[in-house]
Amino acid sequence: MPPFNAADTTTYRRDVASGGRALTVAEREKLLQQYLPSAPTQDSSNTKPRSSTSAASQKPRGHKRRVRPYLKAKLHFLIFFLIQFIFGVYVRLRQFYHGILDRLLAIRHYHHRTPEYIQRDVKSLDRIPEHLSVILKFKSEEDGGLEALLDEVAELSAWSACAGIPLLSVYEKSGILKTYITSLQDLVDQKLASYFGPAPKAPSLRVFAPNLPSTSPSPQLLAQTPNDALSATSQRPHLDLLLLSATDGRDTLVDLTRTLAEMAQAQKISPKDITSNLINTEISATTAIADSRSVSDRGTPKSNREVGAGEPDLVIVFGPYVKLDGYPPWQIRLSEIYCVGDPSSDSSGSASTRVEYQAFLRGLWKYAGAEMRFGR
């Protein structure tokens, strides 16, 4: 395209300034014609094969776009189906294996409500936990509800007493056990009597719950007990039962933080005095139990003293998978956790696991064979 000359540019600008009245349409076309590119030459013989070739080349590409996503989707579905099938077979075989193993253990090791049998089962263990904790789930009314939960706690208390475990803590999230402490103690006493026989053969029992009074015998009853009976009572095995719930975990820490903050604002305590040792002491006090088992020779109890329940040596989770469900975290920093599992329930954990003796015994076996590294 040739460059614009000065005369044509001046003429064009004059026509634009006059609104297109200075030049006619023909003059304007003649002025611009010399600056327009030449029209392309069209060869009819070459145009037709090119269009047919492009159409032919586009048709397979569109066909491939439709087939490839279809094959890819089917391949993904086949891989997904194979994974589901293999995993389903594995889960069913695992459930079948554990179900058979549990039944064999239930037949081989059954307590028959005889302490000697339980003592025989744990006699060969290298160590037995001083503090055993269990996590239970409140069942629906169809599975027994509160009555089934109380019976499970009573059975666990009897097994622990037979195995020589002095302290058993039971965690149930809702805290319904705390509202039935008296009924629970009566039921556990009956269960212990069915295993050991009537008192004084049956172990003595105390039930505790954080921020609630314990169910220990009153000093008046101890003072009225004859000396021979007191000596026999002091030689009886003893079991402490501690009841925990979700309010003893996060809520306790929140209440402690609020209390310390209010005391600091009221200048009752210095912020420098709020240390980790103070917080640890206050938190441990929520699960502290009074040691009033010692009785003097004259029949009067010695002064009560607070002793911490301490971290449990072993935590048994009666569920299909490990779910602490709000358990106080400062209580299980160094605890061994054993999950019972339930071959009959699904992986969602909607079904609860039954409390059975062979599961309790396997938990003690796992604890005895565990290697305590303590972070090393």
Domain boundaries along the sequence of the chain: 1-34, 109-369
* Residue 292 pLDDT: 43
The structure tokens 């060969």 sit at 124
DSSP 280: H
Report whether 353 contacts 139 (CB < 8 A): no
Report whether pLDDT(349) > 80: no
Query: What proportion of the chain, given as a percentage, has pLDDT over 90?
Result: 28
- Residue 25: pLDDT band (50, 70, 90) is confident
Is residue 300's pLDDT more than 60? no
Q: What is the CATH number of domain 109-369?
A: 3.40.1180
pTM for this model (two decimals):
0.66
pLDDT the model gives residue 284: 73
DSSP assignment of 23-89: S-HHHHHHHHHTTSPPPPP--HHHHHHHHHHHHHHHHHHHHHHHHHHHHHHHHHHHHHHHHHHHHHH
Name the pLDDT band for 299 (thresholds 50, 70, 90). very low
Question: pLDDT for 192-235, tens place per residue?
Answer: 999 998 878 889 999 988 877 766 553 433 444 455 544 555 56
Model confidence band, residue 303 (pLDDT cutoffs 50, 70, 90): very low
Would you say 109 and 156 are in contact if contact means Cβ atoms under 8 Å apart?
no
Q: Which residue has the higher pLDDT, 301 or 188?
A: 188
Could you give the C-alpha distances from 160 to 178, 185, 357, 364, in angstroms and in order?
20, 15, 11, 10
Q: What is the mean pLDDT of the chain?
A: 78
